[in-house]
Structure formats: C-alpha cells, structure tokens
Structure 1
Amino acid sequence: MKKPKAIVLVAIFLGAAALGGAAVPLTNHPQFCASCHNIRPSYESWVKSSHKEVECVTCHVRPGVEGFIHDKAYAGLKDVAIYLFGTPTDAHNLQATVSSEVCIGCHRAILRVSEVSTRDLPPPVKDVGLVMGHRKHMEAFAKRGQGEGCTTCHARVVHEQPIKGYPVVIPRGHVAVDGKPYYPDHPEGTKLRASAMNDCFRCHDGKTEHEGKLLSKKCETCHLPDKIGDFLFN
C-alpha cells in the first residue's frame, strides 16, 4: 500500500518541477513583467534605456538561492497577489531594490577609477571633468548603514529619460544648480519625483559630516575648478 503513495508523491514532485522549469523562463521575460499595467511605464522606459539588453531579473533578482527565493519567488508571488486581489501601487510610487552587488557585477572597474576621463563623459559634463572615487562613496554608504548604494545616485539610469541634451541619464546633481533648473515629470508628493529630485547635495550640503569632516557643497570638489564656473552660470 505504501508503494502507490510513493509513486504519487514522486509524480507530484516531478510535475511541480516540470511546471516550475517551464514557468521560470516565462516569468523572467520583461514582457511578462510588463503585463501588469502599473509596471508598463517602467517597461517602456527600459526598452529605450542604455540597459535595454539587460533583462529585469538580472538587476532585480540577486544571484544565488536566497535571491531567487526572496526576490523572485516571494516578491513575485506577492506582486501577483496584489495585482489580482488587492490595489496595485500607482506607477509614480513604485519602488524597487537593486542590490549594489548586482551593479558591481558588471561595473566593477569603476571602483578602481578616481577620475573619469573627459572622453568618457557625456556632453556637457565632459567640459568640466569628473574627479571622484566611487569606491570611497561605496565605503561611506556602507559605514552610514542607511541602505545606500549605486542606485542612490543612479536610480534613474534605466527608468527615466535623459534631460537637457544629455545622451544618457546622469545623476541630477550635475545639472541641478545651473541656469536652467530641471524638474521631473512626476506628480508632487510621489516617490519617483522625490527620487528624481535627489542630487549630490543630499550629502554634500556643507553640513553633513563623514569621518569627522564636513562634506563640501562646492562644485569644484568633484569638477575642474577652472571650468565649472563657466559651465554652470553662462
């Protein structure tokens, strides 16, 4: 009598494995993500972005078993349940966590860079240069322990459009204080607007301290002093 039960259990297990094996590739496809109407704007911005060849799960699901279980299975089922039976979050208030480990997996070389060559910068930032250490920022974020990381500055790189003639999306701090202020096309009070309004001065405000030193709010802290004045105020 026990043998048929064992066969049934094995059959159920194999069936579940086969179903999962078919479902995972299907749910990994960006168009599956876009089937939720409140995610559609994010999908439409992604297909126009510099990361359009990178699938959603590459950034939003951490590698490894823990990442698959929490970021893919648990979060995915939760989103589906909310979409079918609850009230989906408004598109302008969506938030997603992208681990810095995922970003560094592709962009590790940036940690060795303390000065970005002008030839590698988008215009017009290339006119003023960029002197900053990404590694120092990542180490500072880790010490602050406030969940900051790559997306603290680069959250808009995939799901926003370039502004003011830039060919790529860059942190707003590079253009926040020039003669033509930029304001994002998101409703007041939404999380996406708050995120888009973040700039270098969220930390470099002349008041915040790190390791006993005030973080300067002068633009020449990160840009070439003899160029920055003309760039900002002409």
Structure 2
Amino acid sequence: MGRVSQVAFWGKKDKEKPESRESKKKPGLFRRLWQKFRNIDWKDPVTRWKALFVALIGSIVIFGGGYGVLSFTNSPTFCANCHEMAPEVSTFTASAHSEITCVQCHIKPGFMNMITHKVISLKEVYHHVMGIPEQIVQTEHEAVSDENCLQCHSKNRLVSASGDLIVNHKGHIEEGVPCISCHAGVAHAKIAARGINTEEVRGHWTKEVAQQMMEKKYLAPNMGTCIDCHDKVNNGEKPWKDVAYLVPPNPEHLKEEATKEKSNAVIHEANTEEEAKEAAAQHDEKTQKIILEALGKQQKDVKISMACATCHEQVNIPEDHKAADWNQNHGGTALNQLDKCVDCHQDSKWFRDIPKEDLVSLLKMAEVEEEQKDHKYQPNITVVREQSRINKFCSACHSERPTSHGESDQWLTSHSGKAGTQEEKAQCLVCHDREKPTAESPDVKAPTDVYCQYCHRTGFKDDVKN
C-alpha cells in the first residue's frame, strides 16, 4: 500500500502514515473552504478587487440588516406587538406626540446611547417570554431626559400657549429642574401613576378608550406639582434631585419592600389607621395653609411666593366677588351656582399625588356623564353643605368665626332673627350641625363643634328637618 504525505490544518507536514479508511474520507465543508482560501493568489490584483467587492457587499448586508432591525425596533409598530404595551401605545397614538417615535423621548440622542439602550432592553424580552409584568412603569434609570425634549422644544419659552401662565422654562432648566417633573403626562396621561395600565385591564384599551382617558388634567402640568415643589423649595429642599420624585413607584420594588417588611406586618397594621388619620390631618393643615397664602390671607418671607398672581398673568376674578360684603353674602350664589364655583375653588387641583383609579369604573362613569351631559345643576343645600366642609377653599374661611356673629354673648341672644326662615337656617347649617355629632356620623365634619340642639334641645317651632 502506498504512502502519502498529508498537510495539517496549519500547513505543517505530518510524518508519512499508512493510508487508512479514515484518510480516504472526503474533507469536511469547513476544511475544503479553508483549503480554497489558502490557495487564493492574493498577489493577483483581480483577486484583491474581487475580495474587496465581496467584503463591501457583505458589509452592506450586515450593517444594512442591522440598521433595518434597529429602525424597526425603534418604531411604535414594534412596541405595539407586545400585549402589555397596549395602554402605552394607545395613549401615545392619541397624544400630541403621536407624530414622533417612541425612542425620540425614551432614548438619549446618539448612536452609542441607542445601542446601550437596546442591550439593556433585552431584559424586557426576557420578561415578555418568562411572564408579562403586572404593570409597565418608567423606571428611575430611564426617566425622559431634557436632551430629548430640547431636540424639539425651546428652553426660552416664558409664557404658556394659553397666554395666562408665566413659566420661566430657562430658569427652571438652569436650576436643574427636569422637564419631566412638570410634563410627565404629556404622552401617556400618567396612566402608570393612575394604575390603569395593569394586566387585568389591558384588554380594554382601544383607540376610543385612550381618547377618553387623555384628560387635560393629566396631560397638562399639574398645579399641585408646582405648589408641592415650590413649597419644598421654600423649605430649603430640591426635590427634583431625587429621581424617584419624578417617576411613579415601580410595583415590583414595592412588592420587594413589602416582603422585607413582612416580619413587621402586625405592628404596621396595628398603627396603620392611626398613622393614616395623622397624615391626613397634617395634609389638610398644610393644604389649607398654602391656600391661605395663595389668597393673600397669610404673608411670609419666602423664596417663591405662593400667591396666584406669581404664576398666573391673568386671574379672572368675577365682578360679584369684588363686592365689599362678598365674603359674608356669597352663600346664595354658592347654592345656585355650585357647579361654577368648583371650577376654580377645587382643592383637588392643588394635590401633587394622583389617586389610584379603576379603568372599568372610569369607563362606566364616562357613559353616565355622556348620558347626563345636558343635565343642569340643581340647587341642593345638602350638596353645598358637604362641599363647603370637604373643600379646603371653603373651610379655609369657614373655620374662622364670621364677623357678622359679633361678640359671643351678644350673638347668642340675638341670632334668632338671622335664622327665621328655612333658607336662612340652611345657611347656618353649612357650618353648624343640627344634632350633636356622634361616632356614627358621616366622615364629613362641620368646621365648628357648635351644634343647634346644644341649646335648642326641644327643637324649633314649625321646623322642617333638612
């Protein structure tokens, strides 16, 4: 049997070996390709031009394909492929930012920022495959950057589009206040903070539902955010330095914290009601104090004035409010025009925190409101009385003793003439309860603990209980 000389992979000659069955086997694909590559005459100019052409075509295919993939993953169409993104895509489509792509807000400008974001976003693919998250939220590490906003918007704006609100955007930006601290709801109407983008309601999200949920109070800057931030600045704080102040809390993080605190659950539950009442009382006191500052009833030396005219260029005060005795005689107007009163005197606009909502209930409520959109407000003293007690604007003044009451001893014996009719008594009952409040009484408390039956224990003549 003859002997052959074999060439090794790296070009070294092996010692002659007896020809075997294995040596007769046809070389593999990769070995054949390698042998062809080694046999190429690279000194030939034509060969080099061919290689350059192949490399060029290959680069175009690779980089062009990669760019195509990046472009597709940057489009809202790609985001819409995932069921869990239905609320975000629906609201985005219904927003004023629907003409731009998602990444123009959510990825900082620059190729490397895009590649970095794509690598980090692989975890979203993992979550999609392994288990859809209960709620999609903007994480603290991915808050929308000012760089993104300033690609389209100027920082030199001073007056809002309506012409009423004075906002020094440049001053805020130079101070380090992020755009998102005020404009967090511009694209998605704060659906994460409202809790209406959870897994259980994602099937309800349609284009029509998104239009219903895109309410102005969630799209435009929340006045409560401005007030809360200004109040903190006056107390020496810079709340925007904490990214958690700018984005909703991540429910997954909350679950982890709850698990860590499980050992203290009994103690925590025992103090929850008491702590909640104390927090509510402190919140009410703080809100009322700020409202008094805004109305000019309290003045103090602060960095940023809390008065309405500080930010609002035009405060349209109705003519009847300018009457000298308006504070003492506006009860009749409040009874007949309560719906107009609460347009301005609504303290819920002064709160930064957004209460959790239920999407199904909101949709049902929208149907009822649609049916009753032509329904006109009907004067109702019970509704007025309740509003005057829960509304901080009303209680800010109602908690003070009216000047019409005069001295206590004189008013005690002469106020009967001020409460002769049912209409006059109704005005008294705005602040006073008829009967002594009990533990079973409604949570809506009177601004005073003085009640009628403390003295009128036998009732009133010809009285019809309201």
Match of 2:306 among 217, 223, 229: 217
**Residue 115 (1) aligns with residue 159 (2):** yes
Q: Which residue of structure 1 aligns with residue 111 of structure 2?
A: 65
| Contact residue 158 and residue 167 of structure 2 kept, 8 A | yes
**Residue 150 (1) aligns with residue 176 (2):** no
Cα separation, 2, equivalents of 1:74 and 1:12: 24
Q: Which residue of structure 1 aligns with residue 449 of structure 2?
A: none
Task: Spell out, residue by residue over 1:137-171, the C-alpha distance to the aligned partner (whole angstroms, 9 max, x if none).
Answer: 1112x2xxxxx5111110100101443xx499201
Q: Which residue of structure 1 aligns with residue 79 of structure 2?
A: 33
Cα separation, 2, equivalents of 1:17 and 1:3: 27
Q: Which residue of structure 1 aligns with residue 135 of structure 2?
A: 91
Task: Spell out, residue by residue over 1:153-192, the C-alpha distance to the aligned partner (whole angstroms, 9 max, x if none).
Answer: 10100101443xx49920121xx5xxxxxxxxxxxxxxxx
| Contact residue 203 and residue 215 of structure 1 kept, 8 A | no
Cα separation, 2, equivalents of 1:67 and 1:228: 50
- Partner-residue secondary structure (3-state), 2:122: helix
Q: Which residue of structure 2 aligns with residue 43 of structure 1?
A: 89
Cα separation, 2, equivalents of 1:15 and 1:3: 23
The Cα RMSD (Å) is 3.4
- Partner-residue secondary structure (3-state), 2:97: coil
Match of 2:221 among 168, 171, 193: 171
Deviation at 1:21, TM superposition (A): 2.7
Q: Which residue of structure 2 aligns with residue 205 of structure 1?
A: 231
Cα separation, 2, equivalents of 1:217 and 1:2: 82
Matched residue type, 1:218: A
Identity of aligned residues (%): 27
Task: Spell out, residue by residue over 1:104-148, the C-alpha distance to the aligned partner (whole angstroms, 9 max, x if none).
Answer: 11002xx223233xxx31xxxx6xx111200111112x2xxxxx5
Matched residue type, 2:121: G
| Contact residue 157 and residue 169 of structure 1 kept, 8 A | yes
Q: Which residue of structure 1 aligns with residue 99 of structure 2?
A: 53
**Residue 227 (1) aligns with residue 316 (2):** yes
If you compute each CA radius of gyration, which structure gives the higher value, 1 or 2? 2
Structure-2 change in CA distance of 1:225 and 1:59 (3 Å): closer
Q: Which residue of structure 2 aligns with residue 82 of structure 1?
A: 127
- Partner-residue secondary structure (3-state), 1:137: helix
Q: Which residue of structure 1 aligns with residue 165 of structure 2?
A: 130
Q: Which residue of structure 1 aligns with residue 456 of structure 2?
A: none
Cα separation, 2, equivalents of 1:45 and 1:208: 36
Equivalent positions of 1:180-199 (< 5 A) are 199=225
Deviation at 1:31, TM superposition (A): 1.6
TM-score, reference length from structure 1:
0.65
| Contact residue 59 and residue 98 of structure 1 kept, 8 A | yes
| Contact residue 165 and residue 313 of structure 2 kept, 8 A | yes
Cα separation, 1, equivalents of 2:64 and 2:136: 37
TM-score, reference length from structure 2:
0.35
Cα separation, 2, equivalents of 1:132 and 1:14: 49
Deviation at 1:48, TM superposition (A): 0.6
Unaligned runs of 5+ in 1: 143-147, 177-198
Structure-2 change in CA distance of 1:35 and 1:132 (3 Å): same
Count the aligned residue pairs.
186
Deviation at 1:204, TM superposition (A): 1.3
